[in-house]
Amino acid sequence: MRGEYENPNSIYITPELLEEILLRLPLKSILRFKTVSKEWRSILESEMFVRRRRMNVQKEPKILAAHKCRCGDQPRLLPESRFEGDEEIVYLHCDDARPSMSCEGLVCIPEPESIIVLNPSTGQLRRFPPGPDPLSSPFRNGSDDFFQGNWVMGFGKDIVTGSYKVVKMCVEPVEEECHLLSVESGEWTKLKLPPYVHNLGRKSVCVNGSIYWIFSGRRLHIGLGYKILALDVHKLEFHNVSVPSATWVTRCSKIVNLGERLGIAKSTILPEWILEIWTMNASEEIWSKTFSINLDICSNIIRRRKRFAASPWML
């Protein structure tokens, strides 16, 4: 009796080896290979694969560039990327004036009818309902600090569970409403803002599992001047964070994530054009001056180089 025929040219690839191979492919190939089989699609959309690919991308960061498009279409990734030297550029088809937030490789884009969370490294894009009181008013063009209407947004990651959250807070006429969206479940929950929050800034940043905003402390009993509000994304608790100086921080100060440390940047014009950047030790909430950059000197060097490059050579 003749046994079953085996193709001598067939190769069996274990799921573990297949995942290692797929991790090394560019985004365009990953999007195409989702249609090969249910097994491949399951691997490519698994939480473990997405997390590992995101870690690989962080080692070799890409540049996400938004097209200057006013066509009104919903944001989407273009299938082709380009290389400028050693840098890979991934293109996002959307209005480049549209406000957005980012956290550890994911991008959050609020829209009037939905909230979009995009993973540029895998091409995955999810849309969620805008939550209570939909954002219906137009964008405030001309400022990257402003989201829609009377809402302030935040986007961060729970470093304990690895889940991502979107925060939406009402700031006009009074700061009292706060809602949080779980990207994993797609469900909204309501949080209570501290009573001392007033005049909340619209720029936020996520650092080590907490989202930060600048706000005015003049309403109640925490002193004058601008303060920093923090939301622990895992515990879902707000608290007030110290600042380098009660008078140094202003509404024009920018909060940033600088090497996984909370930073504040501020520039002064007189007597010199100086950019100062302070960073905070999160465990003790102690601030230290990290950079002090003389922008007058930098601008003079740039102008001299431009004049030198434009001057004809005398032979």
Q: What is the pLDDT of residues 60-107, one digit of tens each?
A: 666 777 766 767 677 777 767 676 666 777 777 777 667 789 998 889
The mean-pLDDT minimum among 76-90, 148-162, 260-274, 281-295 falls in: 76-90
Contact assessment for residue 50 and residue 76, using Cβ atoms and an 8 Å cutoff: no
The burial class, CB within 10 Å (0-12 / 13-18 / 19+), for 190 is exposed
The residue ranking higher by pLDDT, 41 or 188, is 188
How many C-beta atoms lie closer than 10 Å to residue 92's C-beta?
A: 20
DSSP structure string for 228-278: EEEEETTTTEEEEE--S-TTT--TT-EEEESSSSEEEEEEE-SSS-EEEEE
Give, in order, the Cα–Cα distances in Å from 187 to each of 96, 110, 210. Answer: 28, 16, 20
How many C-beta atoms lie closer than 10 Å to residue 27's C-beta?
A: 21
Nearest alpha carbon to residue 276 among 301, 256, 303, 259: 256
As given in the structure block, the two tokens for residue 199 are 């005049």
Instruction: Indicate the pLDDT class of residue 140, thresholds 50, 70 and 90.
Output: very low
Kindly report, residue by residue over 192-240, the tens digit of the pLDDT.
888 777 778 888 999 999 999 998 765 545 556 788 999 999 999 999 8
Percent of the chain's residues with pLDDT above 70: 71
Instruction: Indicate the pLDDT class of residue 183, thresholds 50, 70 and 90.
Output: very high
DSSP H or E stretch at residue 38: helix 38-44
Nearest alpha carbon to residue 234 among 208, 270, 200, 214: 208
Over range 138-164, report the average pLDDT. Answer: 70
pLDDT at 310 exceeding the cut of 60: no
Kindly report, residue by residue over 231-275, the tens digit of the pLDDT.
999 999 999 888 887 677 877 889 999 888 999 998 888 778 888
The residue ranking higher by pLDDT, 180 or 35, is 180
Q: What's the full length of the chain, in residues?
A: 315
Question: What are the domain boundaries of the chain?
Answer: 100-133+147-241, 248-310
Instruction: Indicate the pLDDT class of residue 143, thresholds 50, 70 and 90.
Output: very low
Quote the Cα angle for 137-139-145, to 5°. Answer: 125
Nearest alpha carbon to residue 166 among 123, 216, 217, 132: 132
pLDDT at 179 exceeding the cut of 70: yes
In this structure, which amino acid lies at residue 3?
Answer: G
| Cis check: omega of the bond before 15, within 30 degrees of 0 | no
Look at residue 46 in the predicted model and tell me its pLDDT. 82
Identify any residues that bridge with 240 across adjacent strands, giving them in sequence order: 229
**CA dist., res. 134 & res. 73, Å (int):** 19
The pTM of the full predicted model, rounded to 2 decimals, is 0.71
Phi, psi (deg, nearest 5) at residue 9: -95, -5
As given in the structure block, the two tokens for residue 275 are 């950019």
The burial class, CB within 10 Å (0-12 / 13-18 / 19+), for 256 is middle
The burial class, CB within 10 Å (0-12 / 13-18 / 19+), for 132 is exposed
- Strand bridging mode 87-93 / 63-66: parallel
